[in-house]
Structure formats: structure tokens, C-alpha cells
Amino acid sequence: MSELFAPLTLRSLTVPNRVWMAPMCQYSAAPDGPDQGAPNDWHFAHLAARAVGGTGLALVEATGVTPEGRISPYDLGLWNSRQQEAFGRVTRFLDEHGTVPAIQLAHAGRKAATERTWVDRGAPIGSGTYGWQPQAPSALAFDDASLTPQEMTAEDIQLVVRRFAESAERALAAGFRAVEVHGAHGYLINEFLSPFTNRRTDAYGGSFEGRTRFALEVVDAVRAVWPEELPVLFRISATDWLTENPEDPREGWTADDTVRFAKELHAHGVDLLDTSTGGNAPKARITTGPNYQVPFAERVKQETDIAVGAVGEITGARQAEEIIASGRADAVLLGRELLRRPYWANEAAAELGAEPTWPDPYHRAV
């Protein structure tokens, strides 16, 4: 009996298996015009292929809650009706093929306004047709090559909280059945959480309570519009990879902070913590390799009651099965391996003796 292919129930939503597609920016939406930020044929093919491949839940890439919150001008967005309608085509297909449609809502903070990663190595675009000045908790640039953001006022903060809720309402109307708040990778919420990026002296900075206030306000606002019976997920960078490294004098968000915060997120209605790491500090020494982030998920799972997702260099069927069967995480999220092998879930099901879910027109392939 494969545990990887056992269903997972979060609130009233049952996800058919624990192989989930990690959110992955495609930088392929129109940067302007009426279809700005709307999913197009590329996004449809990208997500539909993983549904055909048997993925239990697919997370749409970081989707901006405002135009200024996009990482690049080519990001998806969900602040208008046209975008909402276009997402409907994606969610319908995923639903029809047994994949739970989920979306990651995001604000990029000081890391907004950059080129696509494959153009000028993702250089900042501060001005010109597509550029803008990013906002952040404090006026600190990521590194010498990055734009210096404007420090957000209390009104700016409240506006972004509202925008997260409005996008969540649109996500629900578009047919999504799980929503993920992007609190990781050095984007806006992560910037508020970490003492490395949050130097504020008002109620949104300073102590752990101050630095976590914005994230909890976003979660509360999203929870208030998201149905009781459907889950809210939160992606966290479990560590900035600073404080835990004795050779790095910089202070950042730590794995201990993550465990403490996981309990609060759970109390505020978050159902699953999607445990990633990094992205908030330049030149942080990151330990990578197969399962490199699983220990963070495992710790949260052991020390709290919240469900957890594990992500990062999970590529093999037996590797994924072990993570779930040993109780280290409740779901695995696959990123790059699913780009290489969109039908990974069905292939893994066959390898583990579970039932692949090939669509009827493919029955001769089985």
C-alpha cells in the first residue's frame, strides 16, 4: 500500500494523492494590454500536462495581488475580472482530470520589478515602460544590483492586506479550491518576518510579534473570505540560512522561529505549512541536495499539529514514498522534476504498485 498515493483530507477537501506540483513562475503572461497578468495558452498547457500526469494538487505560480507586487511584468496577476475569467479555464480542466486547482498569491516586495530570469539574469527594471519602484518593510535593497525599495506606510500595509483578500475572493470565484499565501523566498511577507529585512520601529517591526503581525493580518484577511470547508496553505522560508551558520554574523529568521510561527498560523486557520527556505539574504550559504529541506518540514510536523508539505530535490518515487510513509511530511511538492517529467505522478504510482490515473483517451498506453 503506497502512502504517497493515499488521499489527504484538509478540512472538507480531499486531495487524491500527496504528489503536488510546486508553484513555478513562468514569466509568460502579457506585461500590458487587456490580458495583462492573465493565464494564456502557455499556462494552460503547463498546468494541464501535470493534471494529465496524475498530480494530486497543482499550485499555480506566484500570482501578484497587485501590479506592483509582481516579480516581473510577465507574472500572472489576479486583481481584475479578465484574469479571474481566464483562470476559470485552467481550474475547470484540472478539476475534470482529478487535480485539485490551487493558487499561490504573492507580493514580491523589494524583489519586485525585475526582468524574466532568462533575460539579463533577472536584472531590476526601475523605470521605463515596464518598471516601477518596489515597496518593502524597510528601505533596504537586496544587494548592490537591486533597486532600493520605498518603506511602506501603515496605509500601504493595510492596502496590501486588502488586496490579498480581494485576490482570494477572485481565486474562489475562478474555481480554485485551495489558496496559498506566499510567505517565502525573500518576498514581501518574508521581508516582514525576518529581522534581516525588517528594521521597522512601528507595530510591524521589532519583536517577533511585531514582525509576524503583517503575515497574520494577511492570513486573517484571506481566511475571512475563504470558505470554512476549504484549506489555506502558507509557504514559508523556514530559515534565512544566516543565524544557524556560525560563520555568518548576520541575524535572520530561524527554524526555531518557524516552529513557533507554525503554531500561530495554525491557530489563525492555516491548514498546511509548505516548508521551503532561503531567498531573503544575498550570499547566504545554503545546503542543497536530495531532501535538503525535508528536515525543516519534519521538525514542524513533530513539534506542532499543522500539516506540512516538503519541497526541494525530491525526484524519485521511493524517495517521495519514504518521506510520506515515515511521517516526515503530509505531502511532497515537486518542482523541477515535474518540469522534466510532467507524468511523474502516474509513473511513480505504477512503480509503487498504486493505481495510475491515466485519462481514458490514453488507455492504450497503460
Ligand X SMILES: Cc1cc2nc3c(=O)[nH]c(=O)nc-3n(C[C@H](O)[C@H](O)[C@H](O)COP(=O)(O)O)c2cc1C
Size of the site for ligand X (CB under 6 A): 20
Over the window 192 to 231, marking each residue x when it contacts ligand X by CB under 6 A and - when it does not, the resulting string is ----------------------------------------
Tell the smallest beta-carbon distance from residue 311 to ligand X (Å): 4
The residues near 22 (Cβ < 8 Å, ≥ 6 apart) are: 59, 311, 333, 334, 335, 338
Q: Which residue lies nearer to ligand X by CB, 124 or 312? A: 312
Burial 340-356 (b: 16+ CB within 10 A, else e): ebbbbbbebbeebebeb
Tell the smallest beta-carbon distance from residue 66 to ligand X (Å): 16
Q: Binding of ligand X at residue 259 (CB under 6 A)? A: no
Q: Binding of ligand X at residue 16 (CB under 6 A)? A: no
Strand partners, 9: 14
Q: Which one, of 126, 121, 257, lies nearest residue 194 by Cα?
A: 257
Tell the smallest beta-carbon distance from residue 235 to ligand X (Å): 5
R_g (Cα) of the chain, nearest Å: 19
Tell the smallest beta-carbon distance from residue 74 to ligand X (Å): 12
Chosen residue from 107, 116, 235, 301 binding ligand X by CB under 6 A? 235
Subset of 178-197 contacting ligand X (CB under 6 A): 182, 184-185
Q: Does residue 308 contact residue 329 with C-beta atoms inside 8 Å?
A: yes
Q: For residues 258 and 246, give the distance between their C-alpha atoms in angstroms, rounded to a whole number.
A: 19
Q: Which residue lies nearer to ligand X by CB, 170 or 185? A: 185
Q: Which residue lies nearer to ligand X by CB, 285 or 336? A: 336
The residue annotated as part of the active site, out of 187, 204, 343, 362, is: 187
Give catalytic status of residue 74 as yes or no: no
Over the window 51 to 80, marking each residue x when it contacts ligand X by CB under 6 A and - when it does not, the resulting string is ----------xx------------------
Tell the smallest beta-carbon distance from residue 59 to ligand X (Å): 8
Q: Binding of ligand X at residue 311 (CB under 6 A)? A: yes
Question: Annotated catalytic sites, by residue?
Answer: 187
